[in-house]
Chains A and B, each alone.
Chain A
């Protein structure tokens, strides 16, 4: 009798350990992301959950947290238990790595394209009909033009905006550091409101009706044209702008602690698949995969682009020179604020 009971238990145990659906407990991931990716990751999370369930039999729930990229990075450093981060710029991931050690220093080499599965760029969003005749960056420094852009101290998108304007001024004929600084100083002199994040700035421009032009992510601008502010705004593509490469990374120490390392890694890898790239493109992010890019070619006009590395060097230098406390942005903005 005891032999039968033992045998039965062993059979039950072996069935339990070899049936994925029974063996794998549901798992939850926290994706800490930046402001305008809400809609992208809502769609992507559902697709990934279906994919993961089919592949492993495990139920996965992904929670999202959104805010200014810099603020989100600080929150992770301060203990927000992110399994993955999908932030606006590499400098914020570097900050997490350097200040908390939660992400390995070589995180960029863990995934293709320096761990940037999609790209975007910075464009100008104006009122329908472009009543202020804004055609390029130079128009943003005209007297009387009201420019909306978020705060680079808290928003990754705002840093891309700032660098796009700075890079444009540098690349103009005769451009140099002093002229670029003067140009950006004039531009911020036309900024009446600094929101904390890109979505907040979109709200300021589209919903609150403030300003003549919004400097925005291309994906956010497309979203505004087609959904948020349909019929009220239109995009102006500047003559040259920056190639924005939002990075992704597994927060390894947290994921290990949560027992979610494998699913977190798979979650980010799925972004590079055809399905993941398709979702990104549908949410107005420029895909890396050529095949997907070809399908969405009409959505993304060709524009002259420069990279941060080409114009500014690495993110550490950019952060220290422009965005650190007391850096160039602080100097520029404080000088503007001091004006009567």
Chain B
């Protein structure tokens, strides 16, 4: 009985304890449930976190964009490599071009008139630096032909398009083809009349574009280099005044340029030119002790027309120079002209400046670039009165007439493969009469950026 009672008591205690534990657990669970966020609350919290993260990302992107606007820009493209301040007031642009030639003379002409050669015609880095938005500095040395020559070193101040100042060494504003960039020439070498205009000179000129860019002008004072000259200093106090106006309407450009000055050479520095053939071989030079001694005048009407795929360029230049030799003196007038035409067989739009192929060279896309063909005719006539007092017909020609043809394969903008053939006939210039015809075959590979 006692056993039974004890067992009943124990059972009752056990049941009671179990019930008590169960009740407490239920209370704990309820309390825990109350203290925990509901599913809806947790979803709300998660939603807020997602929204906050999205907004923070949005603000971060805004901040990055705002900071980017303040950062200098670095860019690389067909116009070179560029570092530019955020406000555009400072800029450094680096470009360069190389022209590698194979030059051949397939006729039986004496080697003295030119050796076949492979060589670098031009190797020029071009550095443009803009300071304070309106001031631009250009530096262009040339490492071609085994020498170092500074071609361009000038400062531009251009507060408005209508008026700017350019000071330093640059192309004088005379010759049309001379003013065309060497990377954009339709033929490997410039034509015969370019002999009569200066190449590079140091001076100060005012430049500007009027009538919405349809009329450009340049007027300046320069040291006054001889025809085809490239100089850094003057050796006399004499200066040349030069001016050019050029009007453009559609593809038609018409202009006129002129220069005047007084030059006095010396026996050591005659201030007189040497004219060259299309192959850059000397063909006219003044006799020793002939010097510039007085007025020099140049007159240079010029024009181009670009319509569709066709381009035509023409120039007629006159260069007058007072010269003396011993007691003899005379004003000599040299004349030269040329007409050059070109046609893009592949339909690109012809231009005085760089032409971009519609389909740049990319074999993977079966894209082969652009093909351009061209022809030109030009003449150069040194003054007949130069002979025999100031020049000798046995080593200087009295005239040169040149035909040229060419094919240019434009692989990309300013990347080209050009083949030219040029026939130049001379009057005089050789001990036995006429200098032999110059047959000039040239292949050029040009890479520019």
Contacts and interface: CB of A to CB of B under 8 A. Distances in A.
Nearest to A211: B48
B55 interface: yes
B55 A204 contact: yes
Interface string B34-55: 0000000000000010011011
A209 B51 contact: yes
Interface in B299-327: none
A200 B58 CA distance: 11
A195 B54 CA distance: 13
A339 interface: no
B56 interface: yes
A196 B63 CA distance: 9
A55 interface: no
Indicate the member of A146, A192, A200, A211 with the most B CB atoms within 10 Å: A192
A31 B54 CA distance: 33
Contact residue range for chain A?
10 to 19
B235 interface: no
A210 B55 contact: yes
A81 B303 CA distance: 45
B210 interface: no
B59 A210 contact: no
Contacts of B55: 193, 204, 208, 210
Contacts of B56: 193
Contact residue range for chain B?
under 10
Contacts of A193: 52, 55-56, 59
B8 to A, nearest CB: 53
Contacts of A204: 55
Contacts of B59: 193, 195-196, 200
Nearest to B51: A210
A58 B52 CA distance: 49
Contacts of A211: 48
Nearest to A79: B87
Nearest to B47: A209
B54 A146 contact: no
A210 B62 CA distance: 18
Contacts, number: 22
Indicate the member of B48, B54, B62, B63 with the most A CB atoms within 10 Å: B48
Contacts of A209: 51
Contacts of A196: 59, 62-63
A193 B48 CA distance: 11
B278 to A, nearest CB: 55
Interface in B53-69: 54-56, 59, 62-63
A105 B59 CA distance: 35
Contacts of B62: 196
A195 B59 CA distance: 7
Nearest to B41: A144
Nearest to A209: B51
Given A195-B59, A196-B59, A208 B54 contact: yes
Contacts of A208: 51, 54-55
Interface in A200-253: 200, 204, 208-211
A216 B416 CA distance: 65
B56 to A, nearest CB: 6
Contacts of A200: 59
A163 to B, nearest CB: 23
Contacts of A210: 48, 51-52, 55
Nearest to A71: B66
A209 B50 CA distance: 11
Nearest to A212: B48
Contacts of A146: 48
B40 to A, nearest CB: 12
B315 to A, nearest CB: 46
A204 B57 CA distance: 12
B193 to A, nearest CB: 50
Interface string A173-203: 0000000000000000000110110001000
Contacts of B48: 146, 192, 210-211
Indicate the member of B55, B56, B62 with the most A CB atoms within 10 Å: B55
Contacts of B54: 208
Contacts of B63: 196
A211 B48 CA distance: 7
A203 to B, nearest CB: 9
A209 B44 CA distance: 11
A211 B59 CA distance: 16
Nearest to B63: A196
A295 B55 CA distance: 40
Interface string B61-96: 011000000000000000000000000000000000
A211 B52 CA distance: 9
A192 B59 CA distance: 12
A20 B55 CA distance: 52
Contacts of B52: 192-193, 210
A299 B56 CA distance: 34
A205 to B, nearest CB: 10
Nearest to B49: A192
B58 to A, nearest CB: 8
A240 B383 CA distance: 101
Nearest to A192: B52
Interface in B77-119: none
A195 B51 CA distance: 14
Contacts of A195: 59
B88 to A, nearest CB: 13
A171 to B, nearest CB: 32
Indicate the member of B52, B54, B62 with the most A CB atoms within 10 Å: B52
* 6 closest cross-chain pairs (CB), A and B: A192-B52, A210-B51, A208-B55, A193-B55, A204-B55, A210-B52
Interface of B: 48, 51-52, 54-56, 59, 62-63
22 contacts: A146-B48, A192-B48, A192-B52, A193-B52, A193-B55, A193-B56, A193-B59, A195-B59, A196-B59, A196-B62, A196-B63, A200-B59, A204-B55, A208-B51, A208-B54, A208-B55, A209-B51, A210-B48, A210-B51, A210-B52, A210-B55, A211-B48
Given A192-B52, A193-B52, A210-B52, 5 more contacts: A193-B55, A193-B56, A193-B59, A208-B54, A208-B55
